[in-house]
C-alpha cells in the first residue's frame, strides 16, 4: 500500500508485528491490544486510535478485521474521518468457535457503520449484499494480498533441498470441522499406496485432536504439530513441503492459500468459496470436490507423480504475484473503496 499512498499501521505491540514493521519499513504505532473482556483497556485503545486518526490528517481509516467487539465504537469517535472495513467472513464457518465468540449482531453493526466494505471475491460480495442487506455501491472486491512473511524468512536461510522422496504434504492452520482434515486423513492411505514414501504434516491448533489422531491408520507417516506454530517454524514447513493441501468443506477465502502463493508452493484444494476461483485464475494447483477423499487423493497423486506439473504451478504462482495477486491489483480494489468512502464522507459533511 505504501507504494500508492501514505500509510500508518496501527496494530498490536507483539514481537511478530514489530519484526514485520521493521521488514516493511512502514510507519507504525504499536500498542497493547487487550482481550475483548478487558473493557477499560479496550475502550482506551479505541479512543487512542480515534485520536490518532483525527489529529494526523488522515483521509481514511481502514479496519482489517470485523471481529473486534469494541471496534463498534470507533466510527462515532472518528468525527468525519470515513471508515473502511474488510469483511473476511460474511457468515461464520461451521465449527469455528473463535469467530463465534463475537456475536454476529455486533459484526453486522460494525460493518453497517462503514462507509465502504471490502470482501475477497464476487461470491462474498453477493452474499454480503443479500444476507447483510448492504447497498451494492458500498461493497467492493479486494484481492486477498499474498502473505510474504514466511517466504521472506525462508530467503534468509540456506535453500532447503526437496528430494523426490519422501513427498511432503502440508496441512497448515486452524483445525475446525470446515477445514476438512478428516477427509485428508481418509485420503492419505490412498496416496501412500500409490506413491509410496509420503509424509503428511498437520500443523495448527483448534479442535480437540483426539478423534483425528484415532482415525490415522499409519502414524509413522504423519508429522503432527497440534499447537500454535511460530513464524520461523512455519517458514521451514512451507519450504520443506512439495504441496499445500486445503481439503475444506466450506470456505470464504484462505490466508493459508495466500501464504502458498507467495512461497510458490503448489496447492491441492477443494472447490469451495473463493478458493476454487483463485486456483483457477492463477493456475497454482489442482482442485477436487469437497468431502470426497478419493477425489482429493487422486489430485494429490497427480501432483506427486508429476514434477513438471509442480514446476508449472510454482511458476504460475510467481507470475500471479506480478499480476492478479500483485500490488497493483491489491491497490485497485482498496482505492475504489477508499474513494467511495470519501464521497460518502463529503456528502455527509454537506448535509
Residue 272, domain member (yes or no): yes
CATH number where 302 lies: 3.40.50.2000
Integer Cα distance of 327 and 319 in angstroms = 12
Shared-domain flag, residues 102 and 192:
no
Shared-domain flag, residues 229 and 185:
yes
Give the pLDDT of the chain (351 residues) as one tens digit per residue: 888 998 999 889 988 888 878 877 888 999 888 887 888 998 999 999 999 888 888 899 999 977 777 888 999 999 889 999 999 888 877 666 666 667 778 888 889 999 999 999 999 999 999 999 999 999 999 999 898 888 888 876 666 666 657 999 999 999 999 999 999 999 999 999 999 899 999 999 987 899 999 999 999 999 999 999 998 999 999 999 999 999 999 988 899 999 999 999 999 999 998 999 999 999 999 999 999 999 999 999 999 999 999 999 999 999 999 999 999 999 999 999 999 999 987 665 443
Shared-domain flag, residues 157 and 248:
yes
Number of domains composing the chain: 2
Residue the block writes with cell 462515532: 76
Q: How far is CA 251 from CA 86, 111, 218, in A?
A: 16, 20, 28
Shared-domain flag, residues 120 and 188:
no
Q: So what's the pLDDT on residue 99? A: 63
Shared-domain flag, residues 154 and 265:
yes
Q: So what's the pLDDT on residue 348? A: 55
Shared-domain flag, residues 278 and 153:
yes
Alpha helices (H) in the chain, listed in sequence order: 15-24, 39-55, 74-78, 97-100, 104-113, 122-132, 149-155, 181-195, 210-215, 231-240, 255-263, 275-282, 293-305, 307-321, 327-350
Shared-domain flag, residues 315 and 332:
no
Integer Cα distance of 257 and 197 in angstroms = 25
Residue 22, domain member (yes or no): no
Give the cell for residue 240: 520443506
Shared-domain flag, residues 130 and 40:
yes
Instruction: Please state the φ and ψ torsions of residue 63, each to the nearest 5 degrees.
Output: -95, 125
Integer Cα distance of 265 and 242 in angstroms = 7
Q: So what's the pLDDT on residue 351? A: 39
Shared-domain flag, residues 233 and 84:
no
Shared-domain flag, residues 167 and 218:
yes
Residue 230, domain member (yes or no): yes
Cα dihedral sign, 307-257-91-85: negative
Residue 26, domain member (yes or no): no
Residue 277 belongs to domain spanning: 149-321
Shared-domain flag, residues 200 and 273:
yes
DSSP 165: S
Shared-domain flag, residues 185 and 204:
yes
Amino acid at each position: 500500500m505504501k507504494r500508492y499512498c501514505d500509510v500508518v499501521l496501527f496494530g498490536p505491540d507483539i514481537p511478530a508485528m514489530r519484526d514485520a514493521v521493521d521488514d516493511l519499513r512502514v510507519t507504525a504505532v504499536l500498542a497493547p491490544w487487550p482481550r475483548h473482556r478487558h473493557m477499560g483497556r479496550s475502550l482506551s485503545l479505541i479512543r487512542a486510535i480515534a485520536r490518532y486518526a483525527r489529529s494526523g490528517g488522515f483521509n481514511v481509516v481502514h479496519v482489517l478485521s470485523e471481529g473486534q467487539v469494541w471496534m463498534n465504537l470507533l466510527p462515532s469517535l472518528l468525527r468525519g474521518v470515513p471508515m473502511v472495513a474488510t469483511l473476511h467472513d460474511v457468515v461464520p464457518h461451521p465449527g469455528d468457535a473463535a469467530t463465534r465468540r463475537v456475536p454476529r449482531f455486533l459484526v453486522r453493526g460494525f460493518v453497517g457503520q462503514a462507509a465502504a466494505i471490502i470482501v475477497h471475491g464476487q461470491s462474498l460480495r453477493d452474499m454480503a449484499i443479500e444476507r447483510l442487506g448492504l447497498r451494492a455501491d458500498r461493497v467492493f472486491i479486494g484481492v486477498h494480498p499474498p502473505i510474504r512473511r514466511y517466504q521472506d524468512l525462508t530467503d534468509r536461510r540456506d535453500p532447503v533441498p526437496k528430494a523426490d522422496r519422501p513427498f511432503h504434504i502440508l496441512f497448515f492452520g486452524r483445525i475446525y470441522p470446515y477445514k476438512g482434515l478428516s477427509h485428508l486423513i481418509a485420503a492419505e492411505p490412498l496416496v501412500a499406496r500409490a506413491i509410496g514414501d509420503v509424509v503428511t504434516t498437520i500443523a495448527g491448533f483448534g479442535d480437540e485432536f483426539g478423534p483425528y489422531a484415532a482415525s490415522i491408520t499409519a502414524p509413522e507417516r504423519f508429522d503432527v504439530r497440534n499447537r500454535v506454530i511460530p513464524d520461523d517454524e512455519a517458514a521451514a514447513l512451507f519450504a520443506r513441503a512439495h504441496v499445500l493441501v486445503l481439503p475444506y468443506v466450506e470456505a470464504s477465502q484462505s490466508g493459508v492459500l495466500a501464504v502458498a502463493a507467495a512461497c510458490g508452493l503448489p496447492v491441492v484444494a477443494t472447490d469451495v468459496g473463493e478458493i476454487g476461483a483463485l486456483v483457477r485464475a492463477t493456475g497454482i494447483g489442482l482442485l477436487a470436490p469437497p468431502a470426497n477423499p478419493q477425489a482429493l487423493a487422486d489430485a494429490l497423486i497427480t501432483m506427486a507423480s508429476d514434477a513438471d506439473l509442480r514446476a508449472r504451478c510454482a511458476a504460475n504462482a510467481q507470475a500471479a504475484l506480478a499480476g492478479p495477486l500483485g500490488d497493483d491489483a491489491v491497490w485497485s480494489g482498496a482505492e475504489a473503496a477508499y474513494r467511495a468512502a470519501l464521497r460518502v464522507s463529503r456528502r455527509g459533511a454537506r448535509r
